[in-house]
Structure 1
Amino acid sequence: MPTQLGIHHGVVDRVLAQAGLPKVERTRLASIIDPYLPFIIETLHEFPRLTAARLYEMAKQRGFRGGSSQFRQRISELRPRQLPEAYLRLKTLPGEQAQVDWGHFSHIQIGNAKRPLMAFVMVLSWSRQIFLQFYLNQQMENFLRGHVGAFEAWQGLPKILLYDNLKSAVLERQGQAIRFHPTLLDLASHYRFNPRAAAPARGNEKGRVERAIRYIRDNFFAGRHYQSVEDLNRQANDWCQGVSIDRRCPENADLTVREAFFLQEQPSLLALPDTPFNTREQKQVKASKTPYVRFDLNDYSIPHQQVQKQLTVNACLKRVRIIDGETLIAEHPRSFGKGEQIENEQHINALWLAKTNAKIHRGQDRLSQVSPLAKSFYNRALNVVTPLGKSATKYWPFSLTKTCAWYSVTFL
């Protein structure tokens, strides 16, 4: 039939398979690879993951003279197939579990800085209520801020939080032995939840948050315009409280996510503590010779008396505070650009005045050391209209000694 239709027999096989008809078995012609089949089958049985390239070299050493493309095709037919793994459908109770993960959503340009746009996503496993917040990196402080924001948005938290094996959550694992990040353990102790890590390469265990991230990409982020991260987060909050929460609940098709969350899941959540967890960034910095400290790619001014000191930067997403010991010495609005100088005008003016006064005093001191008449020269110059600086520089081509000698002849 393929010859009569003028098409390849593979096309016929595909069309028959799509129609639900059995594949026609054809008589296989003799091939130069046939004498090597027992060796190939035995080798593949012992080493199922052995590559076709390696098998081809082994067959050539045993006398095979055929081409590699035909050999590879035959190996693909002979290679033992791994049975597909079956998964149990995981069920949770209201208020029992939430799943947490990061999603990467391209980059955003802020001034001279190209920052990654990262989405912190937490989804309740039963009602599928989503919390979404965008940050400019996935460092630990933003990881903590995402947790605190989700708990406050839901006015409670589940008993178990399930994580992928990201470094902010899991530092090390050997089988069932898991070493969690100590800061995450502090957060868990503060809010009294139980952190758990999904098994490696087991996407079904955290499928709810992965599907939520895919849902966010397709139904929120695609085709969306925003002016800043703050604007994007305002839109994300409106979407979570509108379109997202009004969809059907997968656990109960008779309810929307809104109904499932407010009627059944929120009453089962753990209560929040009296105070939220501290999510401010804290970093030790060294002030150089100039009155600035470097933090997150930008320079922030400090009083000039604090140069060459070890200082502490304490920052949130809005403000940067610079501390010497326990004393607050400077506070600035935070910038997420790159290479910017964020200055307090008082810091720069104080340094300029100090430098200007020092320059005048240095000149006067040098003149005073050269001649005992310098003091009288300055006192007399103060009584004339010509400024004191010009009185000295007018005769600067002479030596300092000659200037004072001129003074003694002229005024004395």
Structure 2
Amino acid sequence: MRCEEPVRILEILRLTEQGYGQRDIGKSAGCSKSTVGEVQRRCREAGITYAEAMSMLPEELQKRVYPAATARKIIKPEPDYQHIHGELQRHPNLNLRFLWEEYKTQQPGGLEYSQFCERYNRWKNNTGKNVTMHQERAAGKEMFVDWMGDTLKIVVNPETGEVFNAHFFVCVLGSSGYPYVEAFPDEKMDKWLSAHANAFEHYRGLPRIVVPDNCKTAVSRPQYYDPVLNPAYWALARHYGVAVIPARIREPQDKAPVEEGVRWLGTWLLGWLRNQIFFSFTELNRAIRKRLEELVRRQFQKRPGTRLSVFEEIDRPALRPLDMPRFETADMKFRTVPDNYHVEYEGYYYSVPYTYYRKKVTVRATAATIEVFDANSVRIASHIRRYSGSRYITDPAHMPEHHRKYWDAKQYNGVRYRAWAKNIGENTYYVIDKMLTAQKIEEQAYKSCMGILQAAKKYSAERLENACAKAREMNSCSYSTVTNILKNGQDLLKPFSPSFKTVPIHQNLRGRAYYA
């Protein structure tokens, strides 16, 4: 299996440098273990590191890893058998014929009815959906996160009397079930990211894997095998060096710890909060922390110890150190790149590579930076955020060639031309300075100065310096004089020296006065 999507290649390189195994990398990147091994081999042979890959355009990275892409065999899209099974379980009146027609509407080139039924029955026979297994969770490896389904109207604005719904972010560590809970007024992206950063600080360490549900703040394109992470969430994962492996759709066993934690907290935390009133979310979260301190000290019913004791004994020592600065939450905006390849954010326009004209991109803004991501969550541009000055911020590398030449010409002025000439030599500086000062409006000489200085690339700096020396002797400091000297090779001629000797003066020579 090939893995040609640049975002997957980047994720494989990132997690490889973090020391993750091929199995965990495959789960995070949405590909098989063998595919991970092939990408690692290809990148190793091509000498591509994660840092180098981040600086490449997606097309360039894809060509470097897969230089000779071959035509693929056309494979008919497989139905989502798990979805089909779930629909039949939930809706007894449905049958395979109806679900096959729905499938063919979405996939006209898909399986025919007989193959559809045969493969579904084979899948059903090969999967024991009614069989469960106990899963041992490795210490400090996984952190399960989700929004609780229940909300409570328990926060009141004391000035206006307005009542707010409290939404609860919950996460638990896989081995101990040690929880972290925080209340927010909504479930927007900034709250989701802030809650993760707060949870890491609460645990005083980092897990290797974060397992979210397929909520919108985590996954921008939920799929059973191939979920696409929200760009902002992916940025948080990169910052903390964790792998994000979303739970599979309709697979509750993937997120069993958080589901169990939600049920437990729904009873012992939300049940305790339901009849109380708070006048700010700060006050509510203070009460939540106090309540959790009591709950985590309660004895397990079916195992020795408490959630706190198991956390301190098993999970806490296995967590990775939290030795990086706190992740800075960002505002996300979706844009379509216009024809001038600059995307707008709060009145300022930031360039992206011109090849993304008319494509959808995501702008991620922090207090200090502006980052732009493509549809595959690959960063394609980064700028320092601007609050004043010119409203257009342009990276010349994003321009097509003809725009870049015009841009380069506009960046030069008298100071830069003089500095350039001084590096070549004294006579070149003299000619350029004369040309600039000779014009009433300095800009009129810029093209001529550029033409003279560019001649050093064609003829060499030494020849240009000699040509300017000759033009200086001729008292003709102009573009045409210097270029004609170079074209005709006059700068290569040696200075004229007479071949005859001067007659010495003596008494036999008669001067003009003798004949007067």
Q: If the TM-score is normalised by the length of the shorter chain, which range does it land in?
A: 0.3 to 0.5
**Which is helix-richer, 1 or 2?**
2
What is the TM-score of this pair, normalised by structure 1? 0.48
**Which is strand-richer, 1 or 2?**
1
What is the TM-score of this pair, normalised by structure 2? 0.38
